[in-house]
Amino acid sequence: MTSFSDSSYGSKAYADFRPSYPSKLYTVLLDYHQGAKTFAIDQGCGPGTAALPLAAYFTKVIGTDPSAGMIEQATKAAAAKHFTNVQFMKSPAEEIPFAANGSVDFISASQAAHWFDHDKWFNETARVLRPGGTLTFFGYLDHTYKNSPIANEIIQEFSYGKNYLGPYWEPGRYILRNLYRDIHPPTSLFRDIERQLYIPGQTDEAFQMVAKTMTLAASEEYVRTWSSFHNWCKEHPGEIARRHNGEGDIVDRLFDRLRGSTGWTDKTVLEIEWSSVIALCRRR
């Protein structure tokens, strides 16, 4: 079980402050997909980040997640947008009991595949996908502030330094940090395997998939959704954020340093982008 499944994890903040995907992501997915668009499943769906947009392309979409809090947020979001062809249920990705063999056209995992038991997951997705059906997993990591090398240096040290949040990431984080290169769809089950990577400053900007304009204050809220920060809080219950009338926690100290080094204020509007990966394959 990951931090996101903890009952104390802030699923609403995740929904409010995590980035969403642009329409061009779904263009990439649907350009790759072949055949019917009757039934899609989005696994590790969180608050419906990808499942809800997919409902515009498929007759029926089911989003699954092991977190009851995430399922609650996704269900509320679907109701608010009056979606009638998408539903959400609490379930691990490695189990798809609600789908018959070969009955699914498309399966996605957004910002989630690094938490899965991959052998079980590939076998189960292969069971329910029709021949030629699509399996895709995609994600993002390590946000950068455009045109601010000093801020990016600070955020990298904070993210992975041994005196900061480095020790508090779960192992799956490092699978994502390697842009899913360590996740290999078995060629006995899947074919036509493709990957698309974007790394700020290193790859073509045409492949950029995750970006957002945020104030510095909203950027702080985003950092507070990290699983590593959630784990840090559990080990430091005596360090209370200023917002809760404490003397400050590790995120308060990070943003004090960012403001001091850049001259930014909480209202400063920033352009932020993330490294990203899209992996695609078809059921044999």
How many domains is the chain partitioned into structurally? 1
CATH of the domain at 29: 3.40.50.150
Would the pLDDT of 1 be above 50?
Answer: no
Would the pLDDT of 11 be above 90?
Answer: no
Per-residue confidence at 3, pLDDT binned at 50, 70, 90? Answer: low
- Cβ partners under 8 Å of residue 92, min gap 6: 64, 66
> Are the CB atoms for 280 and 133 separated by under 8 Å?
no
Per-residue confidence at 86, pLDDT binned at 50, 70, 90? Answer: very high
pLDDT tens-place string over residues 103-162: 999 999 999 999 999 999 999 999 999 999 999 999 999 999 999 999 999 999 999 999
| Helix (H) and strand (E) counts in the chain | 10, 8
Q: How far apart are CA 222 and CA 212, in angstroms?
A: 11
Task: Quote the mean pLDDT of the chain.
Answer: 95
Which range marks the domain in which residue 132 is found? 3-283
Would the pLDDT of 13 be above 90?
Answer: no
Give residue 229's pLDDT: 97
In single-letter form, the type of residue at position 243 comes to: R
pLDDT tens-place string over residues 184-234: 999 999 999 999 999 999 999 989 999 999 999 999 999 999 999 999 999
Would the pLDDT of 29 be above 70?
Answer: yes
Give residue 155's pLDDT: 98
Would the pLDDT of 59 be above 90?
Answer: yes
Q: How far apart are CA 181 and CA 192, in angstroms?
A: 16
**Predicted model pTM:** 0.92
Q: How far apart are CA 54 and CA 51, in angstroms?
A: 5
